[in-house]
Structure 1
Amino acid sequence: MRYFLTLLILIILSNTSFAQTGSRKGKISGTVIDATTKEPIDFATITIFKPGTKTVVNGISSDAKGNFTVTGLANGIYKVAIDFIGYKEKVFETVTINAASPAIHLGTILLVSTVDQLQAVTVTAKTPIIENKIDKTVYNTANDLTAQNGVALDVLKKVPMVSVDIDGNVELQGSGSVRFLINGKPSSIFGASLGDALQSIPASQIKSVEVITSPGAKYDANGTGGIINIVLKDNKLQGINGSVNLSAGTRLENGSVNLNVKKGNFGVGVFFSGNKQLNTVTKSSLDRISYNNTRDTINSLLQDGSNPTKRGSYQTGINLNWSITPKDEITATVGYNHFNNNSSGSTSQQQQYLLASSGILLSDIRSTRNSVSNFSANSTDISVGYKKSFKKEGHELDFLYNSSFGNNTVNAAQNSVYLNDNYPPTGLQSFNPGKENETELSLNYTLPVSKKLTIESGAKMIIDDLNNNVITDTLTTNGSYVNNASQTYGFNYKRNVYSAYLSASFSLFEDFITGKAGIRYERTGKVANFSGAEIAGYNTFAPSFTLQHKLGDSQSIKLSYTYRIERPDYGDLNPFYNISDPHNISTGNPLLKPEIGNNFELGYSKNFKNGANIYFAGYFRRNTDDMQQFTTYYDVLNINGTDYSAVSLTQRFNLGTQTSIGASLFASVPITEKFNLRTNIQAGNRNNVSPGLASVSAFAYRANLNASYQFGNNLLAEVFGNYNSSQKNLRSTRPPVFNYSLAVRKQFLNKNASIGITAANPFNRYLTQRQTSFGPNFNQTNLRMVPVQSFGLTLSYKFGKLQFKKDANEDNTPQLPDLGGGK
């Protein structure tokens, strides 16, 4: 199948290419350096004009080594201009490309500084919102106004191919198995609760979000849906500079401070950020009708309650960068994260038993359940990297050490008071401390064999060590608490993953096809026992490839395949029963196997001369041993000797196969110079086939629209709306979600400062969510009213002097580290 698809795409591309680019094979190249320091100039602007006119034919920026190559030029005469801030422009008035000389090399181009040193520079560089690269899609957040008062989840709602529901659950191209990273590295901040972690990162701290739907062999194989990397803001420019961002709102407050200092070949940056979600009350109700095994009796359960919640978090850290020599660089980061989530609630319950034949009432139990939960998590992330560059460009050796140490504590309690006199009060209280440590050691080696072939290889070791203790006490009839031995225990979860990979980047048929291909091997070691259930180790071989063909300079098409897995985490495996609600209990499954994914993607991107751009991707995904949550109703469920009545038990199982076919579209269109529209549309069909269960085929879609208008006097306004359709699952239906937001920003002090106003769902205080679930012997409806309305005010200020003195080994664009071997 792989060979057939590859051959098919080659045939299609060849016909297209020869039709469009057969006469446009000329290129102009060169190297731009500082005339005084002899150091390369990164981001110098190279512009190709028609002679005697101001018509731009093509253009490009120089790379970190000062090199540039402009391709796809037809035979003819051109004018070439090379320019950079603080330097005098260099112009080549006549450069001729013809059949005899299709490739022109301008050699070393010396740019002369207009001043010895720039004392103060204001830079206005408009970064494209979306960048489509061969292995990832990058969403840049610089002009994201409606998320400026929010958190990472608000940013993710706008990212192509990503969808977010009201509870903070994230899907990538319809898959919830997503690997999250911060600055290309894992963090234990994601361990306890992904949704809570994404609500603890202020949007003002995020520089970009990188979406990798088809990760190559260098990346860890975990995550069948792909990888989302959140890149935080940093600055590698010479001098002292920084920024302050503050937001105040009716539901959320956050702030951040960044300070960067770089002198010569040494730089240091520090940051602090934090946010607080003010008291938020979610209202909920449940209506469930169920039957006993013989269907003689009917159990009716009604619940109606409210749940006030508060969240708070802060992050701080320091990063160091030292270029020991132009060929040797050391980077180090230390970060600390804190998060807390405090909730309480009161739920009224009515449980009735009736005869199925006549409807005669057998019993009517009414109660009030009060609950409280206090969660606190702290994590420290440490990273040290060393990069060795050799004489040949691109020849590199990278080493990375990365560790994340997390501590979390949960204090929870619940008690029920019955209105019936013959039922005594019941209750539980628990104390649950835990530790989660993850360490990575990786080594990467890159060898450019030729201009058209680069070999990469590496090895990595991941050590996961988690221990948890659960102490549970039960309320007695005399009002005191005694230890509940069946709900008190400790466990250790250990998992080591050893991996190695080999990949190649190549160019074929005179640059007709460029691509990457490779294979990754991972050995997942045996996991420690969970209550006597041993989890065996396993091997994974993960091949991948990406082929890309450029249709001229403005458009390209690519085909990719990747083999992925989803390893069950300790929360999926842990057999501890969560009985905070005795009628809705959840637990883990120690017998879970890893989910296997085979993913294909075909993408097309095009940039237009007026600044518009589009990206279209079609995908096919097939998961085997598909892991899904599954709810089973029990008339009576015995847990460690205690009977619980009318229980819905939820846990994850490997449930057959899941096949997803769909497409996504991103488009950015400047209607006028001041008015811009952006849209993300994603649609697909998901089919689940599970032995012993009815197959489920369901279509779902997501669409959003972002409109921005640039008024005069540095005033910008933005409107954003997002809709996620409902989604059928094996035994439930996920409700639809619609939200919208408005924002206005005014810049002043030479655009160094700004003030903004934001409004999220200003005309809707609550978002109503109606979810249904069902099984052979029950039907259930959950209704939630989630508060979504908020108003906010944001202030930001940038300060410092920027000096554009280039280091020989400097690249001011943060790069995604090697997620497989640590780069």
Structure 2
Amino acid sequence: MKRNSFLNIIALTLPIQLLFASPNTGTTLVNITKSQRADGGKLVGKIVEAPNNAGVSFATVALLMTKDSSLANGVVADENGVFTIANVTPGNYILRVTNMGYQTFYRPNVSVATEANLLDLGTLTMLPEAKKLNEVIVRGEKSMIVDDIDKKIVNIGKDMLATSNNVSDLLEKVPAVSLDENGNPQVRGKGNVVVLIDGKPSNLYGSDLPTILQSFPANLIERIDVMTTPSAKYEGEGASGVIDIITKKTKIRGTNGGARLSIGTKNNNSASGNISYKAGKFGLNAFGSGQTRAMTWERTLNRDNLASDMPTHLQQTGTGGNKGKGLFGRVGVNYDINDKNSLEAGVNYSRDNNRNNSNILNETSLQTGLVTETFRRLNNSKGNGDNLNFNLDYRLKFAEKDHQLNFNSSYSLGGSDGESYFNQESEIDSLLRNQQNLRNNNRHSLFLNTDYTWPITPKSTLEVGLRSRTSANDNVNAFYNLDRETNAYVFDNNISNVFGYKDATYTGFMTFSQKTDLWGIRAGLRVTDYNQDINQISLNRDFSVHFLTLVPSFALTRKLGESSQIKLNYSRRVQRPEADWLNPYTDVSDPRNVKTGNPNLRPEFTHKAEMGYSNYEANGGWGPSLFMDYSNNAITQIRTVNETGISLTRYDNVGREFSYGFETDFSQKFGDVLKINGSGRVFRSEVVSALANIDNRTWSYSGNLNAFITLPADFRASAYVNYEGPRAIAQGTRDGVFIANMGIRKDLLEKKATISFNVQDIFLSRNYKSQLNTSSYAQSSLWHQTNRLVNVTFQYRFGKISASGDDA
């Protein structure tokens, strides 16, 4: 804002400011106009805060008559604490300075002589109150995208928060990130993404990632780091990349907090509240939220079985729905022992209840059209899960400049239980089924992490770290069949499973960074020793898996200007088989499409390279790049069909997977009216395996766009569209998916509150289609979400935030 315009606003609002600044509740508003003042001297000065002498912005300066303390004149200081009081009548006065959060400052015996034209009062120092309440410092919003040497930092601004209730909603708005039909994150349209929360594995917060992301409230998030070619500091897993979700750690004085309530269609509701307190060296913060959610879907599958001497056709059609309730809470304390030592501890608790149902009609026919069998399979399931996580973090700054040691620890324990009832209806007696599936899972894990940062020179830094992660999981999956004669459920050992799992990962890494005025380099190496112990107790079969992996990384940047640079990145990634992928248990929940694990899986190694340019400024910028991913033992799902038409799906190392293309992200402000950001890419994906007789090569394109528009009457609107184009998968192709959301918001109560209206999946276009073609079968499938989400959200904030934050 220009200085003259700002002073005009001050002149208009001065009477109100002076009224609220008065310490006497009975003070009558005095509206001082130029005609009421006699020409006189001028007072000037600057107001600063103890002890750092920073200017106190917009303090109210009042000149009081000595005899009765009545108001004679006054102004509001500018953003730097500088003030000028003009036209002061000669006489003796008391100067009073007030500002919310500071002790009132008085200077008596301010004498303005008749002959004086200018009186300089110098620097006036105000002392902060013990508590600063009911004030928010307004700071400029950060640039949305910041390009670091080995990652893109996406700052979560007010507009993104206003249209997002949870982390899943936020991730859809992040350039290059999308969600699949199950809610799992993808980078550049591909899965196998490692998700961290504050640098720690997300599974410390629970066992199901989509549920974690839906339960984690959006207003806890400060930024999201996206790494397509991560440095050796980060997890070596994740063939597609790493997403690190950074939560807010705002330094405050006094108390601040807020509450949020969202009411949506189909019982999609949520409520949350947070409060933070800081007094001296001690800080406390707490957060709690609850949600209900519901989603409905429809599904079709058509498959021609070509393996049999008499080819058949399977058609599955049906509908279903998922409902859930979730609770999330966290309490954290921090203590600054001294200026070099600090300690932080916290507890997170989450609980989730879900209810699922499906109704699928199965029909098998011959090529002539004659239907040979028909059955309808009904499924009703429910499950409960909870997770408790404790963390303790310690930071030590050494006497040497910028030397720092960080120690982080997390212990997590949780469990879940569930039951499913399958009722299979048919006119054919042999197809009649009544089954019960009981599940129980208990898990615990421990994460230890220590990092040491050593600035070798002012422009070079060495960082070394050690990681240890151990976890154990006991899983009981029991199937029972109804005996029609006794009307009792009988345990079926053939399709049941008791599964024990342990893993231990020990990692060491080292990165070296060198920065000059023009060049930047970061090179690193990560060594990981990975151990898995798998015990299929029900079959009395156990086996162990051990991997030792090296993950190098390299990044080089060259500055071209104040905000522009080019960079070259390389990283080797590893995707280790997960427990469910290895477990040879066969899941028969869908008897025509069964699944099993593969204990012979080997790790997938991916080489990732990227060369790009970026230029991000306060008003916007862009970051085009060329990228390449290559793996010669890619892990993917393979489906085979036997002569009876039953398909078996399991993970396998299929062969070569190669993708390359062009990508850019961008952001731009158009005056004070429009702000956009997004990303787009054009790429070729290839999946080739001579052993599995696969050769799929496809050009594709995808992208997303966010637009935020300032409207009259202090309204703001937003729109989001995302399209993931068709791409090659192991045995066929997957069609493109289009999603569109929109919202409108308005700030209320002097911007302490916000009300917003949002619509997600406007066109009900979440259609996930795929086609598979092999020598033994041809299949097409569709999964479609059938309910859009419409919600109204109200958010209220209170208190003093003295650190910068986009949600202020």
TM-score (ref. length: structure 2): 0.81
**1:613 aligns with one of 613, 618, 621:** 621
SS in 1 for 2:143: coil
Partner of 1:473: 480
Change (3 A) 1:404 1:112: farther
Using the alignment, how far apart are the partners of 2:326 and 2:468 within structure 1? 31
**Structure 2 unmatched runs, 5+:** 1-47, 58-99, 103-121
In structure 2, relative to structure 1, the CA distance for the partners of 1:201 and 1:191 (3 Å cut) is: closer
Cα distance in 1 for residues equivalent to 2:396 and 2:500:
38
Instruction: Please give the residue correspondences for 1:135-154 in structure 2 after superposition, counting only pairs within 5 Å.
Output: 135-145=150-160, 148-154=163-169
- 1:682 is aligned to 681
Distance in structure 2 (CA, Å) of the matches to 1:424 and 1:605: 61
Offset at 1:761? 3.6
Per the alignment, in what secondary structure is the counterpart of residue 176 of structure 1?
coil
Of 500, 513, 521, which residue of structure 1 is paired with 2:519? 513
Give the unaligned 5+ runs of structure 1: 1-33, 44-84, 88-109, 636-644, 805-810, 815-823
Q: Which residue is 2:259 aligned to?
A: 244
Q: 2:270 aligns with which of 248, 254, 258?
A: 254
- Residues 351-407 of structure 1, C-alpha deviations (whole Å, 9 max, x = no match): 2346xxxx485x621222111121322111111011111112210112111122121
Q: Secondary structure of the residue that 2:210 maps to in structure 1?
A: helix
Give how far 1:481 is off: 1.7
Aligned residue number for residue 794 of structure 2:
795
In the TM superposition, what is the alpha-carbon distance from 1:477 to its structure 2 partner?
3.9
1:446 aligns with 2:453: yes
**CA shift for structure 1 position 276:** 1.3
- Mapped to 1, the partners of 2:421 and 2:651 lie a distance apart of 25
The 3 A distance-change label for structure 1 pair 436 and 144 is: farther
CA contact (8 A) 1:36 1:112 kept: no
1:453-468 aligned within 5 A: 453-468=460-475
2 CA distance for matches of 1:36 and 1:282? Answer: 61
Q: Does 1:330 align with 2:329?
A: no
Matches within 5 A, 1:55-66: none
Shift of 1:270: 0.4
Deviations 1:482-528 (A, max 9, x none): 11012233221111111112221113xx5331122121111112423
Alpha-carbon contact 2:416-2:442 (below 8 Å) kept: yes
Could you tell me how far apart the structure 1 residues matched to 2:621 and 2:512 are? Answer: 29
For 2:662 and 2:560, how far apart are their aligned partners in 1? Answer: 21
Matched, 1:700 2:700: yes
Aligned residue in 2 for 1:398? 406
Deviations 1:634-664 (A, max 9, x none): 12xxxxxxxxx42111111011121121232
Matches of 1:40 and 1:403, distance apart in 2: 42
8 Å Cα contact 2:696/2:731 also seen in 1: no
What do the CA deviations read for 1:590-645 (whole angstroms, capped 9, x no partner)? 11111111111222211357x1211223211112321001111112xxxxxxxxx4
Structure with max Cα Rg: 2
Are 2:292 and 1:276 aligned? Answer: yes
- Comparing 232-241 with 572-581, which one deviates more in the overlay? 232-241
1:230 and 2:230 matched: no
Structure 2 residue corresponding to 1:527, chosen from 530, 533, 545: 533
Shift of 1:682: 2.2
1:485 paired residue among 487, 493, 518: 493
Instruction: Tell me how far apart the structure 1 counterparts of residues 123 and 568 of structure 2 sit (CA, whole Å).
Output: 40
In structure 1, C-alpha distance between the alignment counterparts of 2:631 and 2:433, rounded to whole Å: 43
Residue 272 of structure 1: CA displacement? 0.6
Counterparts of 1:329-368 in structure 2 under 5 Å? Answer: 329-353=342-366, 359=368, 361=370, 364-368=372-376
Q: Per-residue displacement from partner, 1:667-712 (whole Å, max 9, x unpaired)? A: 1122232122323112221112213223211222212222222124
Q: Classify the secondary structure of the residue corresponding to 2:252.
A: coil
**Contact 1:408/1:433, CA 8 A, preserved across alignment:** yes
Quick check: 2:375–2:431 contact (8 Å CA) kept in 1? Answer: no
2:197 alignment partner in structure 1: 182
Cα deviations by residue, 1:284-327 (Å, 9 ceiling, x for unpaired): 222221134xx420222222211122122121011111110111
State the superposition RMSD in angstroms: 2.8
In the other structure, the counterpart of 1:106 is none
2:21 maps to: none
Q: Distance in 2 between matches of 1:302 and 1:153?
A: 33
How many residue pairs get matched? 690
Hey, what does 2:510 align to over in structure 1?
Answer: 502
> Match of 2:666, as an amino acid?
A
User: What is the DSSP-based 3-state SS (H/G/I as helix, E as strand, rest coil) of the residue aligned with 1:123?
Assistant: coil
CA deviation after TM superposition for structure 1 residue 38, in Å: 5.6
1:67-126 deviation per Cα after TM superposition (whole angstroms, max 9, x unaligned):
xxxxxxxxxxxxxxxxxx999xxxxxxxxxxxxxxxxxxxxxx99855545665332221
CA contact (8 A) 1:246 1:796 kept: yes
- Work out the CA distance in 1 between the residues paired with 2:271 and 2:620: 33
Q: Which amino acid aligns with 1:709?
A: I
Distance 1:765 1:729, change over 3 A: closer
Inter-partner Cα distance in structure 2 for 1:189 and 1:523: 20
SS at match of 1:188: helix
1:549-603 Cα distance to aligned partner (Å, 9 max, x none): 2112121122111121111111111111111110011111111111111111222
Distance 2:238 2:547 in 1: 16
Normalised by the length of structure 1, the TM-score is 0.79
Q: Distance in 2 between matches of 1:283 and 1:216?
A: 41
Within the candidate set 536, 549, 552, 2:545 is matched to 536
**Structure 2 equivalent of residue 579 of structure 1:** 588
Q: Between the two proteins, what is the percent identity of the paired residues?
A: 27
Q: Is the 8 A contact 1:535 1:590 kept in 2?
A: no
- Aligned residue identity for 1:653: D
2:586 aligns to what SS in structure 1? Answer: coil
CA contact 1:272–1:317 (8 Å) conserved in 2? yes
Which one-letter code corresponds to 1:793 in the other structure? V
> Is the 2:136–2:799 contact (alpha carbons within 8 Å) kept by the matching residues of 1?
no
Query: Quick one: which amino acid aligns to residue 547 of structure 2?
Result: Y
CA-to-aligned-CA distance 1:217-237 (integer Å, 9 cap, x gap): 222212122211222344321
Aligned partners of 2:204 and 2:447: how far apart in 1? 16
**Counterpart for residue 297 of structure 1:** 310
Q: What CA distance in whole angstroms lies between the structure 2 residues aligned with 1:159 and 1:769?
A: 21
Counterpart for residue 588 of structure 1: 597
* Matched position secondary structure for 2:215: coil
CA distance in structure 1 between the aligned counterparts of 2:333 and 2:796, rounded to whole angstroms: 23
d(CA) in 2 for partners of 1:575 and 1:111?
A: 77
Is 2:578 the counterpart of 1:569?
A: yes
